[in-house]
């Protein structure tokens, strides 16, 4: 499909906006002859398209695609493939994700579910031995935790549905980076070091990431020629080469017979993945979630992601909260309470819709939101964990159902956002679950496998009603929350973040910062964060002001870093404001095709 040629019609003086926000303009992109250090510019404003990721090389490759005439979908795939090279511990073709797309030609929002699936041999007690759950650390580094990767099929589906390039064209920039190499930064070294013990246990992982027995040095050039060759195979043969044939056999062999070095101290369980599981994988299109907030239409990812439902429910609760307008303390108090209430409902009701009857319409209904909002006391924080509600369509009281259990997800994820000159927009979150996935590089192919199946609950947490137990072909519940917001049918804001279950609160807090506290987008992204996921204590970054909220009864515990967002805001007159983190995860990279 060729790119839409719809353009915006709103008019304003972008120069004035630029001065008001104090923004710089991202420099033009060009392929260097040799890899060199890339300066990250976290904020850019301009025209003709934008790309924002955690990595300068990925942003550059995506921007090159836009400059070559590609659209937002092409650029998103190109940037994602590059992140598989430069951010291999957070993303890659061994994992999965969720892709949200706004089509300017139709004004419609579409989503692709690229979540990993459990093997057909996996049963509800897969993580239980002798009646007790296996140690979580053992599950993390195992073949048992590896689901069928969804990322390659997501790319093929997105390009076939809405792209203007074929897969080979979209992969060319990432393949060049893999072959030519990129300059190692401190974040890459830190993440390699954090995984050194696990990587050393597997010959294929040690050969790639621990050459000479140690992590690479800052400033050195890291090349992944095995991944470049794998990308070449996909470029010439399509993604079916990933799901069938020799590469698929190598993936299955790695999962079933993990390449553990002799005398490794790690207990590495084999997995259940079969060739038939790979061959049957699909990345289906799903209807997005949608809620209205402050006159804007907020679109997100439906189950098996809990991102769209939980962000949407929390926003509905905030809008249904009586009183207001609220000062900063009461606004943040409401944010924390709405988060806890929505997480209680997430934990009780959300799972793979092919296996669980998720009451999504009621979870996102105004009536249910009003019933939940009446629990918020402006003078005192609720005692956590709070009880889940009953989304049955019969609303009016504040009575609650039994308490649910705390749930957390993996932290190794990345998010990118793209927009093109025709007005198309992509918000894409992708992951391999834990930092470094399951620790196993597929021998000779240069990518890590996921451990997404640890997102299942190992045992029933809901008294016989757990929606997130393992099952054959089932997709584990996710917290990924790629989001696109429309104003009068036109893009206003697109954003997302990594961070496991803190993804939901990160996206929600940025929206509260931007829409309720009046911050501009760079400030909304940079502001210190707090995350309440229906737990006794709120996790908060050191810079988050706690004093007034503690007086209301909120209890805090430290978290050094929460999330790593990227986003694009669509300014009047057709200008784009691209924003990435200024500091978290080493800072992100935002760029526009043409500076304003």
CA distance 374 to 398: 6
CA distances in angstroms from 424 to 175, 418, 439, 463, 561, listed in the order given: 25, 8, 36, 45, 31
CA distance 98 to 131: 34
Dihedral of the alpha carbons of 127, 131, 132, 134, in degrees to the nearest 10: -40
Burial 492-512 (b: 16+ CB within 10 A, else e): bbbbbbbbbbbbbbbbbbbbb
Cβ pair 529, 540 in contact under 8 A: yes
Identify which of 382, 385, 309 has the alpha carbon closest to the alpha carbon of residue 346.
309
CA distance 383 to 124: 32
CA distance 89 to 410: 12
User: What kind and span of H or E run contains 289?
Assistant: strand 289-293
CA distances in angstroms from 237 to 177, 219, 409, 445, 562, listed in the order given: 20, 35, 34, 15, 39
DSSP state of 213: G
Helices and strands in the chain: count of H runs, count of E runs: 20, 20
Residues with Cβ < 8 Å from 217, sequence gap 6 or more?
184, 189
Given the residues 157, 192, 413, 502, select the one marked as catalytic.
413
Phi, psi of 431 (to 5 degrees): -160, 160
- Is residue 413 part of the annotated active site? The answer reads yes
Residues with Cβ < 8 Å from 373, sequence gap 6 or more?
317, 318, 320, 321, 322, 338
CA distance 135 to 424: 45
CA distance 79 to 90: 14
Cβ pair 179, 167 in contact under 8 A: no
Query: Using alpha carbons only, how large is the chain's radius of gyration in Å?
Result: 23
Query: Which residue numbers are catalytic?
Result: 413
């Amino acid at each position: 499909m060729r790119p839409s040629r719809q353009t915006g019609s709103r008019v304003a003086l972008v120069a004035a906006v630029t001065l008001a926000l104090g923004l710089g303009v991202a420099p033009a992109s060009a392929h260097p002859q040799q890899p060199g250090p890339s300066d990250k510019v976290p904020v850019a404003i301009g025209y003709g398209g934008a790309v924002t990721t955690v990595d300068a090389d990925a942003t550059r490759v995506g921007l090159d695609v836009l400059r070559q005439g590609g659209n937002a979908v092409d650029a998103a795939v190109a940037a994602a493939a590059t992140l598989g090279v430069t951010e291999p511990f957070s993303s890659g073709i061994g994992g999965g994700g969720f892709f949200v797309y706004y089509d300017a030609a139709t004004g419609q929002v579409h989503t692709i579910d690229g979540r990993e699936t459990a093997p057909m041999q996996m049963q509800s007690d897969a993580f239980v031995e002798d009646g007790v759950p296996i140690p979580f650390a053992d599950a993390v580094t195992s073949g048992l935790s590896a689901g069928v990767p969804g990322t390659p099929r997501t790319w093929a589906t997105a390009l076939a549905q809405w792209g203007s390039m074929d897969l080979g064209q979209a992969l060319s920039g990432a393949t060049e980076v893999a072959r030519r190499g990129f300059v190692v930064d401190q974040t890459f070294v830190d993440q390699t070091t954090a995984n050194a013990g696990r990587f050393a246990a597997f010959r294929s992982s040690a050969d790639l990431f621990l050459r000479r027995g140690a992590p690479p040095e800052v400033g050195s050039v890291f090349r992944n020629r095995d991944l470049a060759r794998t990308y070449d195979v996909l470029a010439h043969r399509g993604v079916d080469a990933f799901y069938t044939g020799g590469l698929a056999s190598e993936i299955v062999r790695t999962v079933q017979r993990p390449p553990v070095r002799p005398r490794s101290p790690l207990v590495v369980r084999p997995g259940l993945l079969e060739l038939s599981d790979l061959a049957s994988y699909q990345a289906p299109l799903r209807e997005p979630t949608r809620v209205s907030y402050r006159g804007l239409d907020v679109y997100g990812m439906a189950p098996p992601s809990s991102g769209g439902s939980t962000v949407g429910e929390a926003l509905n609760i905030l809008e249904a909260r009586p009183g207001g307008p609220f000062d900063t303390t009461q606004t943040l108090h409401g944010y924390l309470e709405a988060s806890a209430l929505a997480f209680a409902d997430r934990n009780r009701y959300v799972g793979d819709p092919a296996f669980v009857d998720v009451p999504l319409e009621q979870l996102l209904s105004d009536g249910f939101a009003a019933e939940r909002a009446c629990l918020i006391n402006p003078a005192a924080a609720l005692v956590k964990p709070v009880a889940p509600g009953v989304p049955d369509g019969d609303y009016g009281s504040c009575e609650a159902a039994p308490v649910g259990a705390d749930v957390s997800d993996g932290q190794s994820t990345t998010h990118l956002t793209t927009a093109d000159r025709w007005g198309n927009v992509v918000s894409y979150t992708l992951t391999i679950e834990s930092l470094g996935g399951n620790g196993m590089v597929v021998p000779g192919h240069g990518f890590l496998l996921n451990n997404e199946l640890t997102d299942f609950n190992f045992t029933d947490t809901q008294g016989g009603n757990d929606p997130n137990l393992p099952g054959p072909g089932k997709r584990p519940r996710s917290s990924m929350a790629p989001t696109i917001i429309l104003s009068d049918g036109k893009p206003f804001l697109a954003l997302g973040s990594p961070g496991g279950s803190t993804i939901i609160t990160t996206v929600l807090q940025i929206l509260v910062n931007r829409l309720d506290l009046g911050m501009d987008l760079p400030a909304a992204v940079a502001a210190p964060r707090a995350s309440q996921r229906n737990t006794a204590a709120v996790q908060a970054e050191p810079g988050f002001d706690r004093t007034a909220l503690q007086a209301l009864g909120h209890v805090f515990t430290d978290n050094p870093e929460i999330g790593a967002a990227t986003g694009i805001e669509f300014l009047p007159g057709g200008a784009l404001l691209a924003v990435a983190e200024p500091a978290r995860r080493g800072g992100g990279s935002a760029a526009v095709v043409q500076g304003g």
